[in-house]
Structure formats: C-alpha cells, structure tokens
Amino acid sequence: MPELAEVEWYRKQWDAGIGDEIVDLRLHTGEYVFRGTNTRRLRENLVGRRLLKSVRRGKQMLFQFSRDNWLGIHLGMTGKTRSESANFWPAKYDHLVLHQRKRALVFTDQRQLGRIRFHHGRTKPDWWKSGIPEIDSPAFNQKFVDEFLHRHRKAPIKAVLLMQNGFPGIGNWMADEILWRAKILPSKGTAKLAARERAAIFRATKFVVRKSLQTLGKDFSDPPRNWLIHQKWKRDGICPRHHTSLRHTTIGGRTTAWCPRCQS
C-alpha cells in the first residue's frame, strides 16, 4: 500500500498537465472507486477546465481545476496515477482518464480500494479539511506527539503509529522503520514509553519522513541501503545494524518486523 512518500511521487505524475485544459474525459461509471461520487457532474464540470495545482495530505491527494473544481484521490492498496501519450486508450483498470491535447492523465486501480471524489465549490471540499498537522510541518512537534500517544496509551505503539489522525501518511513499512530507528519494540504498550523513548519516536518519525520524501517521494529511488525496509520482507532478513535475524509478528492486523537485539 502506498504510504506518504509513494503518494507524493504519484501526486507529481500529473504535474506535467498543470496549466493545460482537459479536452475530454473517460471514466468507468458505476465502478466502486467512484462510490459516493456523481460521475456525471464530474464529467460535466471537468471538461474544458485547466488543471491548476495539486497538494498531498497524508496519503491523500487533491487536484485543483479552474472554475472551482476539485478532484480528490486516495490510492488505497493498488491505485496509481500516471501520465500517458495523448492517444492513450484506457484498459480494464484505468478507471479515469483526463485527456489533454498533449497527454492523458490516468488513474488505475485494480482492487479498487482507492477512491475518487469530486467537489465543485469556491473552497476546498469539507472532506479535505482537517486540523491534523502534516509530519513535515512545524506543527507536528513533540507536544503534539506526546498528547496523541497519551490519548492512545492503551494500544501498542506500532498500532498508534498507523493511526492517520496522528501520524498522517505513515503506513506499515514506515512505522517499522521508525520503531527500529528509535530502538523500541513494536508491541510495547504506549503507556510504558519513557519521555526519552517518545522523543526518539518523534525524531525518527521526522527523519524517516524527510528522507523518504527525498528519495521515494522525489524520483521513486530506494531509501538508504542501511534501512530496515530492504530487509523486512525477506524470509531471512537481518537487522542492518548488527545482522541479527529479524523477527516477525502481526500487530494491529499488519505484519511487523523488528530486531530482537536492538529493540526493547
């Protein structure tokens, strides 16, 4: 499932079309990915409009078009956005194609756990608004993290890191990376974390997000070689720090990898 940095990269795939008009539009009416969205209105409002800009928040993307039109995209498990040549013809899973004179902006989703939403209005849609700070913003600080961890003190820390209303954009691999870097056991009860451990989690979260945006988010290149992500899915994965065999378990329904030597 795409996490913060991957979503950032997918968001930029439509940047090529910024400033250009949507001259035609193809979509698969009635598909699950459009649940709750009036696809007729979407079509009527977007054709003839220009793509102005896009923003990301956590794992969500918002594309702004001229004359007060907005398109929200959540990639879900298998969603992808990309740019194709102008004569592109959609295949089975290409549920939305915005045609411009020089290219086609394509959204593909095989499993359809992603979602496309449309909004017409002067301001950003209600479903976009939130008071939750982005991790790479100054508002995401130690105080915010401490308060959030306290609110969810009964849950294991790994499960808390996956909560989008506290750690927007963090998913399974980033949560494991953060806890490995902070040297904390993923199953550890959040209430048991000492102040220095909460500080380590805060620092590791900022670092993993920043570095991921500089690699994956920028050009889909790999995060640094000494990160856990390169080992976590291997059957015989080892801790990049001291080559101890990694352990695996399920926390909050997600496969979790950790090093028994450096995480406690």
What residue ranges bind Zn ion (CB under 5 A)? 239, 241, 259, 261-262
**Least distance to Zn ion, CB of residue 264, Å:** 10
Q: Give the integer Cα–Cα distance in Å for 221 and 200.
A: 26
**Least distance to Zn ion, CB of residue 89, Å:** 50
Q: Give the integer Cα–Cα distance in Å for 57 and 263.
A: 30
Closer Cβ to Zn ion, 22 or 179, answer by number: 179
**Least distance to Zn ion, CB of residue 180, Å:** 7
**Least distance to Zn ion, CB of residue 135, Å:** 24
Q: Give the integer Cα–Cα distance in Å for 217 and 206.
A: 15
Report how far apart, in Å, the C-alpha atoms of 260 and of each of 71, 184, 248 are.
Answer: 45, 10, 10
**Least distance to Zn ion, CB of residue 82, Å:** 37
Q: What are the strands of the beta sheet with 94-99, ordered from one edge?
A: 24-27, 94-99, 103-109, 79-85
* 209 neighbors 4 (Cβ within 8 angstroms): yes
Structure-derived torsion over alpha carbons of residues 261, 149, 114, 47, reported in degrees to the nearest 10: -130
Tokens of 200: 């380590």
Q: What is the DSSP string of 63-95?
A: EEETTTEEEEEE-TTTEEEEEEETT----TTEE
Measured from the Cβ of residue 194, the count of other Cβ atoms closer than 10 Å reads 9
**Least distance to Zn ion, CB of residue 200, Å:** 15
Closer Cβ to Zn ion, 155 or 174, answer by number: 174
Q: List the one residue out of 46, 54, 28 whose CA is nearest residue 100.
A: 46
**Least distance to Zn ion, CB of residue 191, Å:** 25
Closer Cβ to Zn ion, 52 or 262, answer by number: 262
Q: Give the integer Cα–Cα distance in Å for 172 and 253.
A: 10
Backbone angles phi, psi at 212, to 5 degrees: -65, -40
